[in-house]
Structure 1
Amino acid sequence: MQKNFESLMSRSSMRWDTQTRYKMLLEITNAVVTRTNREELFQALSKELRKHFPFDRMAINLYDSKSQSISYFATAEGVQPGGSLTRQSRPLADASIARMVVQSRQPTIIDDLRRYSDLSSVGAMVKAGLTATMAFPMLVRNRVLGSIHFSFRSAPEHITELTEVLTDVSRQVAIAVDNMRAYTELARLNRSLERQKDFLLQSSQEYKQDDFFYASAAMADIMKTIEQSADTDATVLITGETGTGKDYLARCIHNLSSRRSHLFVKTNCPALASSLFESELFGHAKGAFTGANDKRVGRFELAHGGTIFLDEIAELPISLQAKLLHILQDNQFERVGDSRPVPIDCRVIAATNKDLQESIRAGTFRKDLFYRLNIVSIHVPPLRERRDDIPLLMTKLTQIQARSMNRAEPAYSHAALERLCGYPWPGNVRELKNLVKRMVILRAGDRISAADVEKILESALPQGQIVSEEVASLRKSERQHIIKALAKTRGVLGGKQGAARLLALPRSTLQYRIRKLHIQPEDYLKSLN
């Protein structure tokens, strides 16, 4: 069946002498060996082969021995039986030409397709006007990469010799395809390593365990909780105001755990583009959407064996909260555009400056996810509630900053430290660190008095107490203004009669401000009663 040449032997006179064969193989090798793109390699191969013999269809299948499936290497050229085809993998059919080639590792030559209508896809080929086909295995290092197929409207001449020539061609193509796949995989691994390096650099730059100082009982209790839970896989929920050091504590948990030799992957939820949120977290398959030219490893997969830190978890869209819950329950996820589950082993630490109970009541955060995350709960009090830490933080951080800038340390008087302890620190530890930098830059080697502190605090406009109070007043005024508009429009945002038009704001901006100012329906509906 496979090598039925009798009807064609009369047309099998020599066409390619040895020198011509070598020249053709050299030209094919030169055309495809440097190609790193599938379509380019396929088109270059087709162009070279057409110089030497005609065919009506050419296709290359890639074979996956693990899943027993095949996929098109590139868009098949020429006649398309059954319409256009994609690169999506498909099971290797039991009665198919591809299976015969893969299993036998020998060429399969059929000079009259009508006699083999029981084979998969042959009916569609005949219907498309094809009468003969030649299929060859692609072998590299005793491994089957796939098969290359040539089909014809009429059986080719010199078929015996053509079989020998195309057997040699298939070996060269197999090497080129294997090299291209190795290059593609190496490029993917390099991109993955670059991302890992970025996370490692970020961690090393932002976290130094020696920079962590505390004297208060509240922080001592927190450190005790961290030490007790660090070496477990329990999920941790860290709450507290902005600037209290939640991400620092998350890194501390990771570095004290058995996962410390693996990646700590920080993910700032609000910073991710909403359109690519899912792809960034879970990765995507090649071709999953426009622009997905290659498989992408998501942050969860990067954190395999280590820890993923989801900062500002309250900003995670409700649709992705369900997927996160699935990961916590089943320890697996699916990439965008791929239905195959990916097993994952990573610890999840989440943080937020929001009241999640309030978010649950507002319907913006899932209650079941909250319970899954809140196995170990750590609340970091604001700096104004742990004033015992302030003198130690000021002196130690000043020493560190002065060394890094190669400057003399400023010294703080007792009155200066008392004034700093009395300051409310709306920006918490982050604000304190910025103030220390200003002290080292502007007052290196000086003795800092309470009056000096007062001047520096007043000059720190973005986070000074006066400005903080003014901003709070402005926010309150803006909130009341929006509530009045919503009450007037009975909660309607868009349209000619909506609150957005009344306030001369884009609807999306108004929606953002409503979320930011925590405006709930009851805030404006009660004024209608």
Structure 2
Amino acid sequence: MIVKHFQTLHLDQYSAESMHLNPSTRYQVLLTINNALVNQTSREALFKALAQEISKIIAFDRFSINLYDESQSSLSYFATAEGITPEAIEGDSRPLAKGSIAKTVIRSKEPLVIPDLKKHTFWPSVQAMVDAGLNATMAFPLITRSNVLGSIHLSFRTPPDHMNELADFLKELSGQVAIAVDNMLAHSELTDLNRRLQLQKDFLLKQSENIYDPDNFFYVSTAMQNLMGQIQMISETDASVLLTGETGTGKDYIARFIHSLSPRQSGLFVKVNCPGLASTLFESELFGHAKGAFTGAHAKRVGRLEMAAGGTLFLDEIGDLPAPQQAKLLHVLQDKTFERVGDNRPIKADFRVIAATNIDMEQAIRDDTFREDLYYRLNTVSLHIPPLRERTDDIPLLLDRLTATESVTLNRPAPEFAPDAVDVLMAYTWPGNVRELKNLVKRLIILHPGKRLGPGIVQGMLQTEQTENDNASSFPSLAEMEKQHIEKALELSGGKVGGSGSAAQLLGIPRSTLQYRMKKHGVGNSVDKA
């Protein structure tokens, strides 16, 4: 062991009787120190209290506590060091290898006492201590439940008398300090976690308030009355709900409405935009990650599933979730148990699931792009949100309320709609549904504030929107471009999917990825060569 090469004092050869503090006095000192530590609420306060009590019995010139991060093999100070602080070992975090004395006691789990530092200046950290005027030091590992938390250090300009007896006492004290440090770290971690959770909750609630207001939910049509009747019945249950409907029909709004009526309304409504989840971040985003789980994971992160505990998890556009992520999600939904990335401790989270999609899920199952078992897990209750063209009775009411609210938001006087202008709106097919109606109202308020609008102005605006929609639809989507690119690569490779000279090689992607995307876009090939 490295220690045997040093001129050190072996603590186990000294007894309590050789200490100037007799057993009774020693007990009283330890009790006094313990009482000084128990009521501290911060790392700095705990360290200052400990330094003050130790200074009453030991005239140290420098006192510090190092924390050891095993995953990063690094050291950091528990709090600001007391007394002389050599500049060479300052800093928030440093490699364990740079703290020679700390490394020795942490690796060996044994104390180290050096009466003459000048004999060990081959260690850079010791040379820095000598340069600062320190000539002797004592270091002790901080151990709780067989885990090394770090090390405690006392250094001196002049070696104290009876250094071995002091070291014997400090060895006993280090166990007490280890417990206090461990408790403070746990307290700090819990405080930080609660703070992050509160920030996340405040953010999510703020987002919810900005997007959703139950007082702005307007309808008179029979189709919507029937839908709301179903919502009233299912809201009091914990059944998973699948919302289907075209883009712009208000699936997000309906999901929030269900949550607001449920017994979970005091919990969070946590939205997950499934298409926006990159495969590399899927697990971290949903499950969270432990500190040090991967490069850049500087702190523990609470995932969306854990945030939704006691509330509602909304999986928006679930039909666009890639197959590998579908399998992981299914596993979690089956038992509501998951593990953070980089941590093997199971976490249970009680949340309700609402999912939404604008695609034909049964067709997706037939096309083998969506798992049938996940579909049935999500589809305990299915609600279809009717498009606006199937509930035209709602258009006059929506027009009136949207005009009133948007004119306030835009700070412009609300226009007035002539009856025949409303007729034009009711005859329109509304491919963008309520979202399109809301955008039209905004345009009319901006361009014609406070005016009476006849059918000509409204029809002209609708034609403009239709032209823009037609132009947008004539421009190929990203999915269409990807499909064309795959088809071209297959043509150039003679239908060869994988291997040398294949479509996968031309595209620079793995064969399995190409096969998945071919299936997703319905791309076939006459010859599937290896």
Structures share fold, TM-score greater than 0.5? yes
User: How many Å separate the matches in 2 of 1:517 and 1:47?
Assistant: 69
Q: Give the Å deviation of 1:521.
A: 3.2
Q: Give the Å deviation of 1:441.
A: 1.8
3-state SS of paired residue (1:338): coil
Q: Give the Å deviation of 1:263.
A: 0.5
Q: Is this contact kept in 1: 2:105–2:140, CA < 8 A? A: no
The one-letter code matched in structure 2 to 1:423 is Y
3-state SS of paired residue (2:402): helix
Q: Give 1:521's aligned residue.
A: 523
Q: What are the residue-to-residue correspondences of 1:16-415 with 2, within 5 Å?
A: 21-24=57-60, 27-28=62-63, 39-41=75-77, 77-78=103-104, 158-168=163-173, 171=176, 175=180, 178-415=183-420
3-state SS of paired residue (2:76): helix
The one-letter code matched in structure 2 to 1:375 is T
Q: Is this contact kept in 2: 1:283–1:297, CA < 8 A? A: yes
User: How many Å separate the matches in 2 of 1:290 and 1:478?
Assistant: 32
Q: Give the Å deviation of 1:209.
A: 0.9
Q: Is this contact kept in 2: 1:286–1:295, CA < 8 A? A: yes
User: How many Å separate the matches in 2 of 1:450 and 1:381?
Assistant: 26
- Structure 2 residues without counterparts, runs of 5 or longer: 1-9, 22-53, 87-95, 112-138, 154-161
Could you report, residue by residue, the CA deviation over 1:54-95 in whole angstroms, capped at 9, with x for unpaired residues? xxxxxx9xxxxxxxxxxxxxx97127869xxxxxxxxxxxxx
Residues 455 and 487 (structure 1 numbering): CA distance in 2 closer, same or farther, change over 3 Å? same
Q: Is this contact kept in 1: 2:388–2:433, CA < 8 A? A: yes
Could you report, residue by residue, the CA deviation over 1:361-415 in whole angstroms, capped at 9, with x for unpaired residues? 3332211010111110012222223322222211211111123334322111222
3-state SS of paired residue (1:310): strand
2:471 pairs with 458, 467, 470, which one?
A: 467
Matched residues, number:
435
User: How many Å separate the matches in 1 of 2:384 and 2:432?
Assistant: 17
295-304 or 175-184, which deviates more: 175-184
Residues 158 and 76 (structure 1 numbering): CA distance in 2 closer, same or farther, change over 3 Å? closer
Residues 49 and 452 (structure 1 numbering): CA distance in 2 closer, same or farther, change over 3 Å? closer
Q: Give the Å deviation of 1:459.
A: 3.7
Q: Give the Å deviation of 1:47.
A: 11
User: How many Å separate the matches in 1 of 2:487 and 2:501?
Assistant: 15
3-state SS of paired residue (1:377): strand
3-state SS of paired residue (2:297): coil
User: How many Å separate the matches in 2 of 1:148 and 1:468?
Assistant: 62
Q: Give the Å deviation of 1:261.
A: 0.8
Q: Is residue 444 of structure 1 aligned with residue 449 of structure 2?
A: yes
The one-letter code matched in structure 1 to 2:326 is Q
Q: Is this contact kept in 2: 1:14–1:158, CA < 8 A? A: no
Residues 472 and 416 (structure 1 numbering): CA distance in 2 closer, same or farther, change over 3 Å? farther
Q: Give the Å deviation of 1:499.
A: 5.5
Q: Is this contact kept in 2: 1:283–1:295, CA < 8 A? A: yes
* Identical positions, percent: 43
3-state SS of paired residue (1:241): coil
The one-letter code matched in structure 2 to 1:254 is H
Q: Is this contact kept in 1: 2:369–2:520, CA < 8 A? A: no
3-state SS of paired residue (1:40): strand
Q: Give the Å deviation of 1:233.
A: 0.4
* TM-score (structure 1 length as normaliser): 0.69
The one-letter code matched in structure 1 to 2:338 is F
Q: Is this contact kept in 2: 1:493–1:507, CA < 8 A? A: no
Q: Give the Å deviation of 1:357.
A: 2.0
Q: Give the Å deviation of 1:203.
A: 0.6
Q: Give the Å deviation of 1:247.
A: 0.5
Residues 481 and 79 (structure 1 numbering): CA distance in 2 closer, same or farther, change over 3 Å? closer
The one-letter code matched in structure 2 to 1:39 is L
Residues 417 and 181 (structure 1 numbering): CA distance in 2 closer, same or farther, change over 3 Å? same
Could you report, residue by residue, the CA deviation over 1:234-262 in whole angstroms, capped at 9, with x for unpaired residues? 00011112211111000011001000011
Could you report, residue by residue, the CA deviation over 1:437-496 in whole angstroms, capped at 9, with x for unpaired residues? 1112221211111110122224447x7454355347999899678646645645546888
Q: Is this contact kept in 2: 1:145–1:174, CA < 8 A? A: no
The one-letter code matched in structure 1 to 2:103 is E
Residues 267 and 446 (structure 1 numbering): CA distance in 2 closer, same or farther, change over 3 Å? same
